[in-house]
Chains A and B, each alone.
Chain A
Amino acid sequence: MSGAIGAMRADAAKLLSEGAVKLVLGYCVRGNERYPCFISEAAQAEALDFDQSCRQNLAAYLRKPEVRGRAPLAVVSSPAVCRSLLVLSSESQIRENEVRALAIGPKGYGGILGLGALGAWLKADYPDLVPEQALLDRVAELSAKTAQERAKFWMKEFEKCTRCYACRAACPGCYCERCIVEKNMPQWISSAAAGHGNYAWEVIRAFHQAGRCTGCGACEAACPQGLPLMLLNARLSQDAFEEFGSRPGYELEAKPLIGSWSAEDDGSFIR
Protein backbone atom coordinates (compact mmCIF):
# COMPACT_ATOMS: atom_id res chain seq x y z
CA MET A 1 0.00 0.00 0.00
CA SER A 2 2.84 2.38 0.80
CA GLY A 3 4.08 2.07 -2.77
CA ALA A 4 0.64 2.91 -3.98
CA ILE A 5 0.45 6.00 -1.81
CA GLY A 6 3.87 7.10 -2.98
CA ALA A 7 2.80 6.78 -6.58
CA MET A 8 -0.39 8.67 -5.85
CA ARG A 9 1.53 11.49 -4.20
CA ALA A 10 3.93 11.64 -7.12
CA ASP A 11 1.05 11.83 -9.58
CA ALA A 12 -0.68 14.54 -7.58
CA ALA A 13 2.53 16.54 -7.47
CA LYS A 14 3.09 16.01 -11.17
CA LEU A 15 -0.41 17.15 -12.10
CA LEU A 16 -0.07 20.26 -9.97
CA SER A 17 3.40 21.17 -11.09
CA GLU A 18 2.52 20.67 -14.74
CA GLY A 19 -0.54 22.80 -14.23
CA ALA A 20 -2.78 20.03 -15.52
CA VAL A 21 -4.97 20.52 -12.47
CA LYS A 22 -5.34 23.43 -10.13
CA LEU A 23 -6.50 21.52 -7.12
CA VAL A 24 -6.20 18.02 -5.74
CA LEU A 25 -8.84 16.72 -3.36
CA GLY A 26 -7.53 14.02 -1.10
CA TYR A 27 -7.27 12.73 2.40
CA CYS A 28 -4.73 13.23 5.08
CA VAL A 29 -4.42 10.94 8.04
CA ARG A 30 -3.48 12.19 11.49
CA GLY A 31 -3.47 9.53 14.13
CA ASN A 32 -6.90 8.07 14.14
CA GLU A 33 -8.46 10.98 12.33
CA ARG A 34 -9.04 11.23 8.58
CA TYR A 35 -9.47 14.61 7.05
CA PRO A 36 -10.24 15.66 3.56
CA CYS A 37 -7.60 18.02 2.31
CA PHE A 38 -7.28 20.37 -0.63
CA ILE A 39 -3.89 20.75 -2.19
CA SER A 40 -2.88 23.35 -4.69
CA GLU A 41 0.92 23.14 -4.48
CA ALA A 42 2.98 20.25 -5.64
CA ALA A 43 5.03 20.40 -2.47
CA GLN A 44 1.98 19.67 -0.36
CA ALA A 45 1.39 16.35 -2.09
CA GLU A 46 3.43 14.59 0.60
CA ALA A 47 0.55 15.18 3.00
CA LEU A 48 -1.76 12.97 0.95
CA ASP A 49 -2.61 9.64 2.43
CA PHE A 50 -5.17 6.93 2.05
CA ASP A 51 -6.49 3.91 3.85
CA GLN A 52 -9.67 1.93 4.08
CA SER A 53 -11.11 4.17 6.75
CA CYS A 54 -11.19 7.20 4.44
CA ARG A 55 -14.92 6.95 4.01
CA GLN A 56 -15.83 10.53 3.37
CA ASN A 57 -16.87 10.77 -0.25
CA LEU A 58 -14.79 13.51 -1.82
CA ALA A 59 -17.06 13.61 -4.86
CA ALA A 60 -19.54 15.45 -2.66
CA TYR A 61 -17.29 18.52 -2.82
CA LEU A 62 -17.60 18.74 -6.58
CA ARG A 63 -20.93 20.54 -6.41
CA LYS A 64 -19.52 23.35 -4.32
CA PRO A 65 -18.92 26.43 -6.45
CA GLU A 66 -15.68 27.29 -4.66
CA VAL A 67 -14.33 23.86 -5.56
CA ARG A 68 -15.77 23.68 -9.04
CA GLY A 69 -14.45 27.14 -9.77
CA ARG A 70 -10.95 25.72 -9.51
CA ALA A 71 -11.40 23.07 -12.14
CA PRO A 72 -9.67 21.21 -13.64
CA LEU A 73 -9.06 19.21 -10.54
CA ALA A 74 -8.09 15.77 -9.42
CA VAL A 75 -9.76 13.66 -6.76
CA VAL A 76 -8.20 10.88 -4.75
CA SER A 77 -10.80 8.25 -5.49
CA SER A 78 -11.59 5.01 -3.77
CA PRO A 79 -13.66 2.60 -5.89
CA ALA A 80 -16.84 4.01 -4.33
CA VAL A 81 -15.76 7.55 -5.13
CA CYS A 82 -14.96 6.50 -8.67
CA ARG A 83 -18.48 5.18 -8.98
CA SER A 84 -19.84 8.44 -7.60
CA LEU A 85 -17.85 10.32 -10.22
CA LEU A 86 -19.40 8.18 -12.95
CA VAL A 87 -22.89 8.67 -11.54
CA LEU A 88 -22.29 12.42 -11.47
CA SER A 89 -21.02 12.28 -15.02
CA SER A 90 -24.02 10.32 -16.29
CA GLU A 91 -26.25 12.91 -14.62
CA SER A 92 -24.32 15.68 -16.41
CA GLN A 93 -23.02 17.13 -13.17
CA ILE A 94 -19.36 16.91 -14.06
CA ARG A 95 -17.61 16.89 -17.37
CA GLU A 96 -14.78 14.81 -18.68
CA ASN A 97 -12.33 17.71 -18.86
CA GLU A 98 -13.06 19.00 -15.38
CA VAL A 99 -12.21 16.10 -13.14
CA ARG A 100 -9.60 13.42 -13.03
CA ALA A 101 -9.34 10.60 -10.55
CA LEU A 102 -6.29 9.39 -8.70
CA ALA A 103 -7.80 5.96 -8.41
CA ILE A 104 -6.78 3.97 -5.38
CA GLY A 105 -8.23 0.96 -3.66
CA PRO A 106 -7.44 -2.23 -1.77
CA LYS A 107 -5.82 -3.68 -4.90
CA GLY A 108 -3.45 -0.79 -5.29
CA TYR A 109 -3.08 2.43 -7.17
CA GLY A 110 -4.70 2.76 -10.58
CA GLY A 111 -2.99 5.93 -11.76
CA ILE A 112 -4.42 9.16 -13.12
CA LEU A 113 -7.66 8.22 -14.76
CA GLY A 114 -10.02 10.37 -16.78
CA LEU A 115 -13.71 9.77 -16.31
CA GLY A 116 -13.75 7.73 -19.50
CA ALA A 117 -11.20 5.30 -18.11
CA LEU A 118 -12.77 4.80 -14.68
CA GLY A 119 -15.31 2.23 -15.83
CA ALA A 120 -12.64 -0.07 -17.18
CA TRP A 121 -10.56 0.19 -14.01
CA LEU A 122 -13.58 -0.56 -11.84
CA LYS A 123 -14.73 -3.45 -13.97
CA ALA A 124 -11.28 -4.98 -14.00
CA ASP A 125 -10.50 -4.71 -10.29
CA TYR A 126 -13.82 -4.17 -8.51
CA PRO A 127 -16.42 -5.71 -10.80
CA ASP A 128 -18.90 -6.53 -8.12
CA LEU A 129 -18.64 -3.90 -5.49
CA VAL A 130 -21.52 -4.93 -3.27
CA PRO A 131 -22.31 -3.89 0.28
CA GLU A 132 -20.25 -5.67 2.90
CA GLN A 133 -21.61 -9.02 3.97
CA ALA A 134 -22.10 -7.83 7.53
CA LEU A 135 -24.37 -5.07 6.26
CA LEU A 136 -26.29 -7.43 4.01
CA ASP A 137 -26.72 -9.78 6.94
CA ARG A 138 -28.24 -6.98 8.99
CA VAL A 139 -30.53 -6.10 6.09
CA ALA A 140 -31.62 -9.72 5.79
CA GLU A 141 -32.15 -9.99 9.51
CA LEU A 142 -34.36 -6.92 9.58
CA SER A 143 -36.21 -7.97 6.43
CA ALA A 144 -37.06 -11.27 8.06
CA LYS A 145 -38.91 -9.57 10.87
CA THR A 146 -42.60 -8.69 10.77
CA ALA A 147 -43.76 -5.38 9.36
CA GLN A 148 -44.69 -4.28 12.85
CA GLU A 149 -41.28 -5.10 14.23
CA ARG A 150 -39.67 -3.24 11.35
CA ALA A 151 -41.93 -0.25 11.90
CA LYS A 152 -40.98 -0.25 15.55
CA PHE A 153 -37.29 -0.52 14.75
CA TRP A 154 -37.37 2.38 12.34
CA MET A 155 -39.61 4.48 14.55
CA LYS A 156 -36.99 4.24 17.27
CA GLU A 157 -34.21 5.11 14.82
CA PHE A 158 -35.98 7.87 12.94
CA GLU A 159 -37.05 9.59 16.13
CA LYS A 160 -33.39 10.26 16.84
CA CYS A 161 -33.04 12.33 13.67
CA THR A 162 -32.48 16.00 14.39
CA ARG A 163 -32.74 16.93 10.72
CA CYS A 164 -29.24 18.36 10.62
CA TYR A 165 -28.93 17.04 7.03
CA ALA A 166 -25.34 16.00 7.54
CA CYS A 167 -26.23 12.88 5.56
CA ARG A 168 -27.30 15.03 2.65
CA ALA A 169 -24.20 17.19 2.83
CA ALA A 170 -21.98 14.13 2.81
CA CYS A 171 -23.66 12.49 -0.17
CA PRO A 172 -22.37 13.30 -3.65
CA GLY A 173 -25.78 12.32 -5.06
CA CYS A 174 -27.56 15.02 -3.08
CA TYR A 175 -26.72 17.95 -5.29
CA CYS A 176 -30.11 19.59 -5.76
CA GLU A 177 -30.06 23.36 -5.43
CA ARG A 178 -33.29 23.18 -3.50
CA CYS A 179 -33.79 19.92 -1.71
CA ILE A 180 -37.33 18.59 -1.74
CA VAL A 181 -37.41 18.83 2.04
CA GLU A 182 -37.00 22.57 1.74
CA LYS A 183 -39.90 23.00 -0.64
CA ASN A 184 -42.77 24.75 1.07
CA MET A 185 -45.31 25.43 -1.65
CA PRO A 186 -46.53 22.81 -1.04
CA GLN A 187 -44.67 21.42 1.91
CA TRP A 188 -44.48 17.73 1.10
CA ILE A 189 -42.24 16.92 4.02
CA SER A 190 -42.66 18.55 7.39
CA SER A 191 -39.46 20.22 8.49
CA ALA A 192 -40.10 19.56 12.15
CA ALA A 193 -37.65 17.01 13.56
CA ALA A 194 -40.27 14.51 14.60
CA GLY A 195 -42.97 12.13 13.56
CA HIS A 196 -44.08 11.92 10.00
CA GLY A 197 -41.65 14.54 8.80
CA ASN A 198 -38.73 12.39 9.88
CA TYR A 199 -40.22 9.30 8.33
CA ALA A 200 -40.90 11.01 5.02
CA TRP A 201 -37.46 12.56 4.94
CA GLU A 202 -35.59 9.35 5.64
CA VAL A 203 -37.60 7.35 3.14
CA ILE A 204 -37.45 9.94 0.39
CA ARG A 205 -33.74 10.56 0.95
CA ALA A 206 -33.12 6.87 0.49
CA PHE A 207 -35.45 6.57 -2.48
CA HIS A 208 -33.83 9.48 -4.26
CA GLN A 209 -30.68 7.38 -4.26
CA ALA A 210 -32.38 4.45 -5.95
CA GLY A 211 -30.16 3.24 -8.75
CA ARG A 212 -27.64 5.96 -7.86
CA CYS A 213 -26.22 5.01 -4.47
CA THR A 214 -22.67 3.74 -4.74
CA GLY A 215 -22.60 2.42 -1.21
CA CYS A 216 -19.76 4.64 -0.02
CA GLY A 217 -21.32 4.92 3.43
CA ALA A 218 -20.52 8.61 3.80
CA CYS A 219 -24.07 9.45 4.85
CA GLU A 220 -24.10 7.01 7.73
CA ALA A 221 -20.61 7.98 8.77
CA ALA A 222 -21.65 11.62 8.84
CA CYS A 223 -24.77 11.10 10.94
CA PRO A 224 -24.16 12.45 14.45
CA GLN A 225 -27.10 10.48 15.77
CA GLY A 226 -25.84 7.20 14.41
CA LEU A 227 -28.87 6.32 12.27
CA PRO A 228 -28.31 3.11 10.31
CA LEU A 229 -28.89 4.80 6.94
CA MET A 230 -26.90 2.20 5.08
CA LEU A 231 -29.55 -0.39 5.91
CA LEU A 232 -31.99 1.57 3.76
CA ASN A 233 -29.44 2.21 1.03
CA ALA A 234 -28.23 -1.37 0.92
CA ARG A 235 -31.73 -2.81 0.82
CA LEU A 236 -32.66 -0.50 -2.03
CA SER A 237 -29.45 -1.23 -3.94
CA GLN A 238 -30.02 -4.93 -3.50
CA ASP A 239 -33.58 -4.66 -4.83
CA ALA A 240 -32.48 -2.46 -7.71
CA PHE A 241 -29.78 -4.92 -8.67
CA GLU A 242 -31.91 -8.01 -8.34
CA GLU A 243 -34.87 -6.60 -10.22
CA PHE A 244 -33.25 -4.40 -12.80
CA GLY A 245 -29.58 -5.32 -12.78
CA SER A 246 -28.79 -1.81 -11.64
CA ARG A 247 -25.07 -1.25 -11.04
CA PRO A 248 -24.69 2.48 -10.72
CA GLY A 249 -21.34 4.03 -11.41
CA TYR A 250 -19.81 1.60 -13.85
CA GLU A 251 -20.59 3.44 -17.06
CA LEU A 252 -19.77 6.94 -18.19
CA GLU A 253 -23.21 7.37 -19.70
CA ALA A 254 -26.05 5.42 -18.21
CA LYS A 255 -29.78 5.82 -18.25
CA PRO A 256 -31.18 6.58 -14.82
CA LEU A 257 -32.88 3.61 -13.19
CA ILE A 258 -35.86 5.70 -12.15
CA GLY A 259 -36.71 7.47 -15.36
CA SER A 260 -36.23 4.56 -17.70
CA TRP A 261 -38.16 1.32 -18.10
CA SER A 262 -38.41 -1.95 -19.87
CA ALA A 263 -41.48 -3.83 -21.01
CA GLU A 264 -40.02 -6.82 -19.18
CA ASP A 265 -39.98 -5.14 -15.78
CA ASP A 266 -41.64 -7.15 -13.05
CA GLY A 267 -45.33 -6.41 -12.73
CA SER A 268 -46.30 -9.30 -10.49
CA PHE A 269 -47.14 -6.97 -7.61
CA ILE A 270 -49.77 -5.22 -9.69
CA ARG A 271 -53.22 -6.73 -9.51
Chain B
Amino acid sequence: MTFEPRITAFVCNWCTYAGADLTGTSRLSYAPNIRIVKLPCTGRIDPLFVLKAFEGGADAVLISGCHPGDCHYASGNYHARRRWSLFRKLLAFTGIDENRVFFSWVSAAEGQKFANLVNKVTEQVRAAGPFGERNLARRRL
Protein backbone atom coordinates (compact mmCIF):
# COMPACT_ATOMS: atom_id res chain seq x y z
CA MET B 1 0.00 0.00 0.00
CA THR B 2 1.31 3.41 -0.87
CA PHE B 3 1.86 5.90 1.85
CA GLU B 4 -0.88 8.49 2.05
CA PRO B 5 0.37 11.49 3.99
CA ARG B 6 -1.85 13.34 6.39
CA ILE B 7 -1.53 17.05 6.17
CA THR B 8 -3.05 19.49 8.62
CA ALA B 9 -3.61 22.98 7.29
CA PHE B 10 -4.12 26.09 9.38
CA VAL B 11 -5.61 28.77 7.22
CA CYS B 12 -7.08 32.21 7.69
CA ASN B 13 -10.75 32.78 7.15
CA TRP B 14 -10.48 35.70 4.77
CA CYS B 15 -7.99 34.70 2.12
CA THR B 16 -6.92 31.09 2.03
CA TYR B 17 -10.19 29.60 3.29
CA ALA B 18 -12.01 31.63 0.67
CA GLY B 19 -9.39 30.64 -1.89
CA ALA B 20 -10.03 27.00 -1.06
CA ASP B 21 -13.74 27.68 -1.49
CA LEU B 22 -12.98 29.07 -4.92
CA THR B 23 -11.03 25.91 -5.76
CA GLY B 24 -14.23 24.06 -4.98
CA THR B 25 -16.59 26.30 -6.91
CA SER B 26 -14.17 26.08 -9.85
CA ARG B 27 -14.25 22.28 -9.50
CA LEU B 28 -10.46 22.04 -9.52
CA SER B 29 -9.45 18.79 -7.94
CA TYR B 30 -6.54 18.17 -5.61
CA ALA B 31 -5.16 15.46 -3.40
CA PRO B 32 -7.56 14.48 -0.61
CA ASN B 33 -4.82 14.38 2.01
CA ILE B 34 -5.39 17.77 3.50
CA ARG B 35 -7.57 18.70 6.47
CA ILE B 36 -8.25 22.37 6.98
CA VAL B 37 -8.59 24.02 10.36
CA LYS B 38 -10.05 27.48 9.91
CA LEU B 39 -8.86 30.38 12.04
CA PRO B 40 -9.68 34.05 11.76
CA CYS B 41 -6.15 35.02 10.82
CA THR B 42 -2.66 33.57 10.47
CA GLY B 43 -1.78 35.85 13.36
CA ARG B 44 -3.86 33.53 15.57
CA ILE B 45 -1.75 30.46 14.79
CA ASP B 46 0.29 29.56 17.83
CA PRO B 47 3.42 27.40 17.37
CA LEU B 48 1.70 25.03 19.78
CA PHE B 49 -0.86 24.24 17.08
CA VAL B 50 1.88 22.88 14.86
CA LEU B 51 3.45 20.80 17.58
CA LYS B 52 0.04 19.43 18.50
CA ALA B 53 -0.65 18.50 14.89
CA PHE B 54 2.57 16.50 14.72
CA GLU B 55 1.78 14.86 18.01
CA GLY B 56 -1.63 13.97 16.66
CA GLY B 57 -0.22 12.19 13.65
CA ALA B 58 0.11 14.76 10.91
CA ASP B 59 2.93 14.05 8.47
CA ALA B 60 3.11 17.71 7.58
CA VAL B 61 1.61 21.05 8.46
CA LEU B 62 0.62 23.80 6.05
CA ILE B 63 0.08 27.36 7.15
CA SER B 64 -1.51 29.75 4.72
CA GLY B 65 -3.02 33.20 4.83
CA CYS B 66 -3.36 36.51 3.08
CA HIS B 67 -0.59 38.01 0.97
CA PRO B 68 1.42 40.79 2.63
CA GLY B 69 -0.68 43.93 2.65
CA ASP B 70 -3.95 42.05 2.23
CA CYS B 71 -4.56 40.98 5.80
CA HIS B 72 -8.13 41.56 6.87
CA TYR B 73 -6.76 42.62 10.22
CA ALA B 74 -4.07 44.81 8.67
CA SER B 75 -1.03 43.10 10.14
CA GLY B 76 -1.84 39.58 11.38
CA ASN B 77 0.01 37.94 8.51
CA TYR B 78 3.06 40.10 9.15
CA HIS B 79 3.09 38.95 12.74
CA ALA B 80 2.76 35.38 11.51
CA ARG B 81 5.56 35.76 9.00
CA ARG B 82 8.02 36.92 11.60
CA ARG B 83 6.96 34.24 14.08
CA TRP B 84 7.28 31.44 11.54
CA SER B 85 10.51 32.62 10.01
CA LEU B 86 12.13 31.91 13.37
CA PHE B 87 10.06 28.95 14.50
CA ARG B 88 10.61 27.00 11.32
CA LYS B 89 14.35 27.36 11.73
CA LEU B 90 14.10 26.14 15.29
CA LEU B 91 12.07 23.14 14.10
CA ALA B 92 14.61 22.44 11.38
CA PHE B 93 17.41 22.65 13.93
CA THR B 94 15.68 20.02 16.01
CA GLY B 95 15.11 17.76 13.04
CA ILE B 96 11.77 18.80 11.57
CA ASP B 97 12.85 20.05 8.20
CA GLU B 98 11.23 21.92 5.34
CA ASN B 99 9.51 18.75 4.15
CA ARG B 100 7.22 18.93 7.15
CA VAL B 101 6.20 22.54 7.57
CA PHE B 102 4.97 24.61 4.66
CA PHE B 103 3.97 28.23 4.34
CA SER B 104 2.04 29.97 1.66
CA TRP B 105 0.06 33.05 0.84
CA VAL B 106 -3.13 32.16 -1.00
CA SER B 107 -5.62 34.90 -1.71
CA ALA B 108 -9.36 34.50 -2.10
CA ALA B 109 -8.84 34.68 -5.85
CA GLU B 110 -6.18 32.02 -6.07
CA GLY B 111 -8.23 28.86 -6.37
CA GLN B 112 -5.81 27.33 -8.82
CA LYS B 113 -2.86 28.23 -6.65
CA PHE B 114 -4.46 26.48 -3.70
CA ALA B 115 -5.02 23.29 -5.70
CA ASN B 116 -1.45 23.35 -7.00
CA LEU B 117 -0.15 24.03 -3.52
CA VAL B 118 -1.95 21.10 -1.96
CA ASN B 119 -0.83 18.79 -4.74
CA LYS B 120 2.78 19.89 -4.50
CA VAL B 121 2.86 19.66 -0.74
CA THR B 122 1.24 16.24 -0.83
CA GLU B 123 3.79 15.02 -3.36
CA GLN B 124 6.68 16.39 -1.41
CA VAL B 125 5.50 14.80 1.82
CA ARG B 126 4.75 11.55 0.06
CA ALA B 127 8.31 11.51 -1.19
CA ALA B 128 9.67 12.33 2.24
CA GLY B 129 7.76 9.45 3.76
CA PRO B 130 5.86 9.14 7.01
CA PHE B 131 6.80 11.51 9.78
CA GLY B 132 7.51 8.39 11.71
CA GLU B 133 7.18 6.93 15.16
CA ARG B 134 10.91 7.28 15.53
CA ASN B 135 10.59 11.01 15.62
CA LEU B 136 10.46 12.40 19.09
CA ALA B 137 7.98 15.03 18.07
CA ARG B 138 5.56 12.21 17.42
CA ARG B 139 6.49 9.59 19.97
CA ARG B 140 4.07 9.34 22.79
CA LEU B 141 4.24 7.38 26.02
Chain A residues within 8 Å of B, Cβ to Cβ: 142-143, 147-148, 150-155, 158-159, 180, 188-190, 192, 194-196, 198-200, 202-204, 206-207, 210, 232, 235-236, 239-240, 243-244, 257-263, 265-267, 269-271
Q: Nearest A residue to B132 by beta-carbon distance?
A: A151
Q: How far, in whole Å, are A142 and B89 apart by their CA atoms in the complex?
A: 13
Q: Nearest B residue to A244 by beta-carbon distance?
A: B82
- A239 B139 Cβ-Cβ under 8 A: no
- B51 A204 Cβ-Cβ under 8 A: yes
- B88 A154 Cβ-Cβ under 8 A: no
- A270 B51 Cβ-Cβ under 8 A: no
- A147 B137 Cβ-Cβ under 8 A: no
State which of B2-10, B25-33, B90-98 sits at the interface with chain A. B90-98
- A150 B94 Cβ-Cβ under 8 A: yes
Contact among A148, A159, A188, A266 with B52 in the assembled complex (CB-CB below 8 Å): A188
- A261 B103 Cβ-Cβ under 8 A: no
Q: Mark B102-141, 1 if CB is under 8 A from A, else 0.
A: 1111000000000001000000000000000011111111
Q: How far, in whole Å, are A243 and B84 apart by their CA atoms in the complex?
A: 12
Q: How far, in whole Å, are A204 and B81 apart by their CA atoms in the complex?
A: 18
In the complex, what's the smallest C-beta–C-beta distance from A204 to chain B, in angstroms? 7
In the complex, what's the smallest C-beta–C-beta distance from B28 to chain A, in angstroms? 17
- B78 A261 Cβ-Cβ under 8 A: yes
Chain A residues lying within 8 Å of B47, measured Cβ to Cβ, are: 203-204, 207
Q: How far, in whole Å, are A269 and B83 apart by their CA atoms in the complex?
A: 12
Q: Nearest B residue to A192 by beta-carbon distance?
A: B141
- A236 B139 Cβ-Cβ under 8 A: no
B38 close to chain A: CB less than 8 A? no
- B83 A265 Cβ-Cβ under 8 A: no
Q: How far, in whole Å, are A189 and B140 apart by their CA atoms in the complex?
A: 11
Q: How far, in whole Å, are A148 and B97 apart by their CA atoms in the complex?
A: 9
Contact among A151, A190, A261, A269 with B94 in the assembled complex (CB-CB below 8 Å): A151
Q: How far, in whole Å, are A132 and B75 apart by their CA atoms in the complex?
A: 36
A151-B135, A200-B51, A203-B90 in contact; A269/B95 too (CB < 8 A)? no
In the complex, what's the smallest C-beta–C-beta distance from B60 to chain A, in angstroms? 13
- A271 B117 Cβ-Cβ under 8 A: yes
Chain A residues lying within 8 Å of B105, measured Cβ to Cβ, are: 267, 270-271
- B82 A270 Cβ-Cβ under 8 A: no
